[in-house]
Structure 1
Amino acid sequence: MSDIQKAALVKPSQRQLKWQEMEFYAFIHFTVNTFTDKEWGLGNEDPSIFDPQDLDTEQWVQVCKAAGMRGLILTCKHHDGFCLWPSKYTEHSVKKSPWKQGNGDVVKELSDACRRHGLQLGIYLSPWDRHDNRYGTDEYNTYFKNQLRELLTNYGDIFSVWFDGACGEGPNGKRQVYDWDGYYQVIRKLQPGAVISVCGPDVRWIGNEAGHCRESEWSVVSETLLDCEKIQEKSQHADDAEFRHRIRTEDEDLGSREVICSAGNLVWYPAEVNTSIRPGWFYHANEDDKVRSVEELLDIYYKSVGGNATFLLNIPPDKRGRIHEADEKRLRELGWILRSTFQDNLALGSSAAASESMDDDHTAANLLDGNPDTFWCPRPGTEQASIEIDLGDEKRFNHLVLKEHIQSGQRIERFKIECRKDSGAWREISRGTIIGHKRILRFDEITARSIRITIMESRWYPTLSSFEVYLGPID
């Protein structure tokens, strides 16, 4: 079996498939830093400063849902060590704050709000702890796993456990050797459906916090990438604004033929794009006029969700405990545009014909049936093929959405799109490299009856499960 065929056979797990369908979800950075106006706490903050006067997780969830998001990940404990739930393993938590007279639980309130509105909950738990004196000892790993057990047993289903690799000094001047395998065992036992993200085996960090996306984002990559964010020497251990926006161009190609043929073992390790709606991760009043524009957010959305990644957008609640009005307005605008664009699939009811199909169960008609489990493919070994979609009459459109059947692997390497009216020559309107879970193509509005996709390069043989056509709002 060739290296290319081996790469074509690498497939996602069920939890990875379920996570990929999330597509767009929120990061909620909220802790004592919100009240000290810092990005990273020192660990010596008095819990009494945590006192949001109007904390409203219902509002958080409603805003996220209006934006088109499907879940939220909460910073249950950031590097400062302050816990947003009343952990029985430390006093440095909401139970020592004046908020709700020490009887509050932010994690529970958010979990309940998510359940009411049909959104999923994820948790961020920082392994680095600048407050706890156990940090730097074996006892700390036990403490950390106990906190994981609390969060994974008391708040319902969790879709993601999000770890970063920050590893600085604790209050005693020591650094911790993290028991990653032990952490993973706790998660797999208590929440087997949850993906472990970034410093974990299920979801790969895109490599920057600026929202930059690769032109070709492969989900099949070298096994060595599993450990990249866990290496202490490369971990972030300073509040470094430059790091937050650094883009390493040498990492642009992680999965081309040239790379994988010399990569050794390959794994399914899909990418997540994480960035903030503001310059910082926590709320700062002086950034109220620096909220990203709708155009910026749309650009990141199309390059991430529309480029075989997911989009994790940070939205920091303010001191009141609410999503600020400026952020809310922007997110509602974004959600309106996304709903308006993708509400009416113009390809429904169309017909499709392929240059070749493997058999009667894998014809081009499967692209138009709305079923993610059915797909088209040619016979094994056929790496180039084309499909023509007949819309029935001439229609106006400016977006196409393509999906591979990633349950079978990621295979398409290069394609082009052409269109024509009732008669006349084919005209190329777009081309691309990978497709994967989803590829969204945007272009100036055109009118056409027929659309043709030509797959020029693929691994072993290509698959397609969906071909959708949309007319989005016109500027």
Structure 2
Amino acid sequence: MKYIKIFLGLIVVFELLVSGSQSNQTNQTSQTNELTKPMAKQIAFADWEVGAFIHFGLNPFIGQQHGDGKEPPSKFNPTALDAEQWVLAAKDLGAKYVCLTARHEGGFCLWPSKTTDYTVANSPYKDGKGDIVQEFVDACRKHDIKIGLYHTTSHDANSALKSYEGPVGWGAKRIALLDSVFEDDNRRRRYMEVQMEQMRELLTNYGPIDFMWSDHWGHISTIKMWTPITNLAAELQPDMVFMGPETWVPGNETGHVVYPMWNAVHTVDGTNYTRPAPNKGDVDTENDYGLLEGEVRTGHPLGEYWRVRECPTSRVFHTGGWFWQPDRTFAKELPEHIDLYYRTIGLGANVIINLPPDNRGLIPDDIVAAAKAFGDEIKNRFSNPIAKSDAIPAGGTFELSWEEPTEINTIVLMEQIANGQKVVRYTLEAFLDGKWEPLKPANTFPSATPPYNATPGYETIGHKKIDRVEPVVTNKVRFRSLESVKDLPVELRKVQVFYCEPW
């Protein structure tokens, strides 16, 4: 990465990794001729498809997006906070999981952590007796929503930089400041004691947690930090999906995923503790928001590790940034939201949509309304297929028919990824006037610029592929695999046919 300094001792670090815990490498197939397969929890995570991000903390009260760790907890004073409102808005969105920033990059903890005084316990909220993580967890369980927490080991400005005089900033400057701290073994050790204990509190005190987002996971320069954290997460919550070794981002915060896309990846050092390695043609992207995960990786059909793609959306569902800002955070229009769905879920990825509460502790009304409109529209489009099948024999061809000829323009395919991702190229056809005719793909994403595909055709499927096609009237469609990995028989999990109103 552009902003990350590679340690001269990299080779030594790799040797340490080889001898480290392998607890996160189970169920991965790297030394046989079989394809890599996802763990059961990764398949379940892919089925959740849509998530919601709740970015909340000290930031909305101090006008910062990343937090410098210097502003006092006394400024944190939401007067109408309602975690149930957050969860209900996410449920209306169609989200199956919700992720709260329990502790963002500035270091302010939304629970009364024993590791620091930089917490809600020293704020006016509930006279210092509040625990917003507990309120959030309780609301999720009440409404049957999967629980996600955000905590990032490599960026805790208060713990690492509170004694630094001067602006902390973001991007290259903050990375340089953190690197200077982490080069001192004693300071890094004390810093890691805080990070490990905070992780232990979050993953011990609140019952089962379904998902954890660990921002900036797996940078080579901070791998000494991430290895013990990754192992601790696996030890404390083995059923939890952990962002990094089990999911990965697509190289942007704009809700685009590279296509074709493989969930299996090689990693930069051959272990499950680092980021996906590039293939020929893969790139790193610039990002005006300062994203540190700018690697665009197509994955590899023979990759050793499975990473579900999850697309973050800092300024896609609304204007502004991750955290609410007065006079800047407003919901965008429904057509943009539907396009987001097609270019993420429709290309085999998850999407996590930001719903930021304001300084009252409530998600603004316009974003709540937009979330419901999005959820309603997705239900309207994909709840009643013209035809469907989930009993599909393995093989390269499958036909689906129904009684009356009907206009169609959308076909949804799901691959049986439990046995690996296999489809390289395929075609779709309709039975017209007594013969099979190709269906012409009509996927278009005007907001996608290279390296993202603005007109994806019939290549990878993975968890799900939504193909918009030029409309035809028919009562029979056919899927044909044109190429599969190692010529393995293709296994489809589901085929659905729809007519969706053009957008």
Task: Report the TM-score range of the alignment, normalised by the length of the smaller protein.
Answer: 0.7 to 0.9
Gaps of 5+ in 1: 169-174, 232-239, 349-366, 370-374, 379-384
1:298–1:463 Cα change, 3 Å = same
Give the C-alpha shift of residue 252 in structure 1.
5.5
Question: Which aligned pairs between 1:48-87 and structure 2 lie closer than 5 A?
Answer: 48-87=74-113
Q: Distance in 2 between matches of 1:433 and 1:123?
A: 34
Give the count of matched residue pairs: 418
Aligned to 2:419: 408
Report the CA distance between 1:181 and its aligned residue: 2.1
Are 1:129 and 2:156 counterparts? yes
How high is the TM-score relative to the length of structure 1?
0.81
| C-alpha distance in 2 between matches for 1:68 and 1:103 | 33
Q: Which residue of 2 aligns with 1:193?
A: 239
Instruction: Tell me, yes or no, if structure 1 residue 285 matches structure 2 residue 326.
Output: yes
Structure 1 residue 423 displacement after superposition: 3.6
Match in the other structure for 2:365: 325
| 2:163 equivalent to 1:112 | no
How does 1:289-438 map onto structure 2 within 5 Å? 289=330, 291-348=331-388, 367-369=389-391, 375-378=392-395, 385-421=396-432, 423=434, 426-430=437-441, 431-438=457-464
Give, as a single letter, the amino acid of the residue that structure 2 aligns with 1:243.
Answer: G
CA shift, 1:427, in A, is 4.1
Counterpart of 2:40, as a letter, is Q
Structure 2 residue matching 1:76: 3-state secondary structure: strand
What are the within-5 Å matches in structure 2 for residues 91-170 of structure 1?
91-127=117-153, 128-132=155-159, 136-165=187-216
Counterpart for residue 171 of structure 1? none
2:327 alignment partner, SS class: helix
1:212 maps to which of 256, 259, 271 = 256
Letter in 2 for 1:368: D
CA contact 2:203–2:236 (8 Å) conserved in 1: yes
- The structural deviation recorded for 1:457 is 0.8
Contact 1:141–1:178 under 8 Å retained in 2: no
Normalised TM-score (structure 2)? 0.77
Q: 1:410 to 1:427 in 2, by over 3 A?
A: closer
- Structure 1: how far apart are the matches of 2:222 and 2:387? 55
Taking a change above 3 Å as real, the CA distance of residues 376 and 151 of structure 1, as seen in their structure-2 partners, is same
1:388/1:176 CA distance change after superposition, 3 Å: closer
Q: Provide Cα deviations, 1:409-448, integer angstroms capped at 9, x if missing partner.
A: 0000111111134745524233410111111112354321
Counterpart check, 1:275 vs 2:313: yes
Q: CA deviation at 1:402?
A: 0.6
Using the alignment, how far apart are the partners of 1:166 and 1:279 within structure 2? Answer: 24
1:38-87 deviation per Cα after TM superposition (whole angstroms, max 9, x unaligned): 11211111111110111111111111111111111111111111100011
Matches within 5 A, 1:7-18: 9-18=35-44
> 1:92/1:176 Cα in 2 relative to 1: closer, same or farther (>3 Å)?
farther
Match of 2:299 in 1: 254
| Residue 44, structure 1, aligned to residue 82, structure 2 | no
1: CA distance, partners of 2:225 / 2:217: 14
The answer as to whether partners of 2:268 and 2:276 remain within 8 angstroms in 1 is no
Contact 1:340 1:473 in 2 (8 A): no
Letter in 1 for 2:393: W
Q: Give % identity.
A: 31
Q: Distance in 2 between matches of 1:176 and 1:439?
A: 35
Alignment of 1:170-181 (within 5 A): 178-181=224-227
Code of the residue aligned with 1:320 in structure 2: it is R
Query: Given that residues 210 and 244 in structure 1 are in contact (C-alpha distance below 8 angstroms), is that contact kept between their aligned partners in structure 2?
Result: no
Checking the alignment, whether the CA contact within 8 Å between 1:205 and 1:272 is kept in structure 2 is yes
Q: Is the 8 A contact 1:347 1:368 kept in 2?
A: no
**Contact 1:388–1:450 under 8 Å retained in 2:** yes
- Give me the CA root mean square deviation: 2.8
> In 2, are the aligned partners of 1:86 and 1:95 still within 8 Å (CA)?
yes
1-structure distance, mates of 2:424, 2:218: 38
Partner SS state of residue 98, structure 2 = strand
Per-residue CA deviation, residues 109-132 of structure 1 (Å, 9 max, x unaligned), is 111111111101111112121112
State the 1:301 CA deviation.
1.5
Does residue 465 in structure 1 map to residue 493 in structure 2?
yes
* Amino acid corresponding to residue 419 of structure 2 in structure 1: S
Q: 1-side partners of 2:31 and 2:492: how far apart? A: 17
Q: Which amino acid aligns with 1:103?
A: K
Q: For 1:448 and 1:284, how far apart are their aligned partners in 2?
A: 50
**How far apart are 1:183 and its partner, in Å?**
1.1
Once the two structures are superposed, residues 355-413 of structure 1 have per-residue CA deviations (whole angstroms, 9 ceiling, x without a partner) of: xxxxxxxxxxxx434xxxxx5213xxxxxx32221112212333211111111100001
Distance in 2 of aligned mates of 1:450 and 1:99 = 61
Aligned-partner SS, 1:305: helix
**Residues of 2 paired with 1:95 and 1:444: CA distance?**
58
Letter paired with 1:160 = F
Deviation of the 1:246 alpha carbon: 9.2
Cα distance between partner residues in 2 of 1:247 and 1:133:
24
**Separation in 2 of the partners of 1:280 and 1:4?**
39
| Alignment partners' CA distance in 2, 1:411 and 1:177 | 32
In the other structure, the counterpart of 1:222 is: 266
What one-letter code is carried by the residue in structure 2 that aligns with 1:214?
Answer: V
| Distance change >3 Å, CA 255–CA 229, structure 1 → 2 | closer
What are the ranges of 5 or more consecutive residues in structure 2 without an aligned counterpart?
A: 1-28, 162-180, 182-186, 278-286, 442-456
Residue in 2 that maps onto 1:382: none
Other-structure match for 2:230: 184
Contact 1:208 1:245 in 2 (8 A): no
